[in-house]
Structure 1
Amino acid sequence: MLVIPAIDIIDNKVVRLTKGDYNTSKIYSDNPIDLVEKFIQHGIKRIHIVDLEASKLGSFTCLNLLSRIKKNYNTEIEFGGGIRNLDDIKTLSDIGIDFFILGSITVKDENEVSEMIQMLDKKRFIFAADVLNNEIKISGWTESSNITIEDYISKWLANGISNYLCTDISKDGMLVGPNFNLYKDIMKKYPEVDLIASGGISGVNDLIQLENNSLKYAVVGKAFYEGKISLEEMSKFAK
């Protein structure tokens, strides 16, 4: 299993939220590049970066940071936050972004998304399935979509999308352990899906259990920043 450390950006600082609430924002670093260097030194192969301001402002705020990372460091980046159209995909692709995380737009503008995924290899797209009580939430987790996780995956899987970042909102940033049953159910129903677990991971034992449940990827955020999982422990899953 590949562990992917998360860097969430507000005002060029590394922050973490709890359950997606911006009012809970806590700053962990003023220098994202330092973190990137540490991750790479420990063999981390992919980094999960989210521009938290882009979703609100309607434009990216950390393109310079992304460009510096891709120019100077040998690492894959999966990026999300405010991707809205084909021009955004082109801008990010030109910088060298490896994977594009699409969230609310996959519910709000299916036609635009259908055009996006024809533009590049579909394996480079990751669809964010943010779940609360089995329902997909959108718009920064503030709106209900009335779409179940099963219907969401079934629809986009039929359109060639196999990568899904699945976050249980009730566990995000809580350090209480992930929703193992949710991931088990998805893997059982959709064995062909590449599922990225996110939300609630509290320690290395959670990672071991996710790996034992046949998950290939897991995003680690607050557990690292709060010292629950070390760089050395994450590096053991850098494969």
Structure 2
Amino acid sequence: MNIYPAIDLKEGKVVRLLQGMMDKATVYSDDPVRQAQSFVRDGARFLHVVDLDGAFSGRPENDKMIRAIVNSVPLKVQVGGGIRTSGRIEELLSLGVSRVILGTAAARNPEFAAEAVKQYGADQVIVGLDARNGKVAVQGWAESTELNAEEFALRLHDSGVSTVVYTDIAKDGMLAGPNLPASVKLAESSGLQVIVSGGVSSLADIRAIKAEADKGRGIDGAIVGKAIYDGALALKDVLAVTRGEEDAG
């Protein structure tokens, strides 16, 4: 099971949003590089980065910081936010990003996701599937669609996508636990590998996610953000649990 500590970038700073609302942002650090380095010290192998400005505007807004992060840590960095053209994918991969996360572009143009996977491979292109009340949300979660999340997941699988980051927007930033049943259902119904995102707040959550991953239920791992920044979770303890060291807390 993989753990992806998260850095959400807004105007070059590390922030967290409440349910994806840009006007409800809490700034946790003005030094994203230092934050990424702290994750390395805690034993992380992966990093999840979102260009929030890019997600809303559709334009690259934080490339200078993304490059600085990638160059400063030996982590596999995945980046999402405003990736809507093949040229943008190429730009991010050239920065040293390990894989990109398509969102709005994949929902609005499934053929784009299929072409991107064909060109760059399913190991370098994954999709963020963000849902509100079972419907896919786009444009930095600012807009809801009538696209059913499970139907969308099936389409993605058929187009060659292998992994999605699944976020129940109602859970994001609330520290109330992830929507694990929906994550497992999505994985099993679509055949996709699912990275659980939104609401992870305790070691009990991590153990529950790990239990599903260990059963071969299609759960790749989890993204952990706000709980780390608020001190509810220590990344070292999270990683220890994933290694089966149950006395970690």
Report the TM-score, using the length of structure 2 for normalisation: 0.90
Verify the 8 A CA contact 2:48 2:78 in the aligned structure 1.
yes
Letter in 2 for 1:201: V
Give runs of aligned pairs for residues 137-216 of structure 1, distance below 5 A.
Answer: 137-190=137-190, 192-214=191-213, 215-216=219-220
8 Å CA contact 1:3, 1:237 repeated in 2 = no
Secondary structure of the structure 2 residue equivalent to 1:53? helix
- Matched to 2:233, the amino acid is I
CA contact (8 A) 1:136 1:145 kept: yes
Q: What is the rounded CA distance, in whole Å, between the counterparts of 1:199 and 1:116 in structure 2? A: 26
- Asked if the contact 1:168–1:198 (Cα under 8 Å) also holds between the matched residues in 2, the reply is yes
One-letter identity of the residue aligned with 2:222 = A
Report the 3-state secondary structure (helix = DSSP H, G, I; strand = E; otherwise coil) of the residue aligned with 1:170.
Answer: coil
Q: Any conservation in 1 of the 2:82–2:104 contact (CA below 8 Å)?
A: no
Aligned residues: 238
Percent of pairs with identical residues = 29
- 1:82 partner amino acid: G
Structure 1 partner of 2:247? none
Per the alignment, do residues 125 and 91 of structure 1 end up closer, same or farther by CA in structure 2, a change over 3 Å counting?
Answer: same
Which residue identity lines up with residue 227 of structure 2 in the other structure? A
- Tell me how far apart the structure 1 counterparts of residues 152 and 111 of structure 2 sit (CA, whole Å): 15
Alpha-carbon distance, 1:157 to partner:
0.3
Equivalent position of 2:71 in the other structure: 71
AA at the equivalent of 1:151: E
Q: Is the 8 A contact 2:113 2:159 kept in 1?
A: no
- CA RMSD, Structure 1 to Structure 2 (Å): 1.6
Distance 1:70 1:185 in 2: 34
Alpha-carbon distance, 1:144 to partner? 2.6
Q: TM-score, normalised by structure 1?
A: 0.94
2:223 maps to 1:219: yes
Shift of 1:59: 2.1
Given residue 154 of structure 1, which amino acid in structure 2 is its aligned partner? L
How far has the Cα of 1:131 moved from its partner?
A: 1.1
* Within-5 A mapping of 1:19-58: 19-58=19-58
Q: Which residue of 1 aligns with 2:129?
A: 129
- Write out per-residue CA displacement over residues 170-195 of structure 1, whole angstroms, 9 at most, x where no aligned residue: 111001111122022123324x4211
CA distance in 2, matches of 1:40, 1:82: 26
Unaligned 5+ segments in structure 2 are: 214-218, 244-249
Question: Residue 218 of structure 1: CA displacement?
Answer: 0.1
Give the C-alpha shift of residue 134 in structure 1. 1.4
The answer to whether the 8 A contact 1:172-1:200 is kept is yes
Which deviates the most, 181-190 or 15-24?
A: 181-190
What is the DSSP-based 3-state SS (H/G/I as helix, E as strand, rest coil) of the residue aligned with 2:114? helix
Structure 1 stretches of 5 or more lacking a match? none
Structure 1 residues 187, 107: CA separation in 2 closer, same or farther (over 3 Å shift)? closer
Q: Distance in 2 between matches of 1:7 and 1:238?
A: 20
Verify the 8 A CA contact 2:9 2:50 in the aligned structure 1. Answer: yes
Alpha-carbon distance in 1 for matches of 2:98, 2:133: 31
For 1:3, the aligned partner's letter is I
Deviation at 1:140, TM superposition (A): 2.2
Moved runs in structure 1, 4+ residues, more than 4 A? none
1:233 corresponds to 2:237: yes
Structure 2 residue aligned with 1:88: 88
Q: CA deviation at 1:238?
A: 6.5
Matched, 1:102 2:106: no
Paired AA for residue 122 in structure 1: A
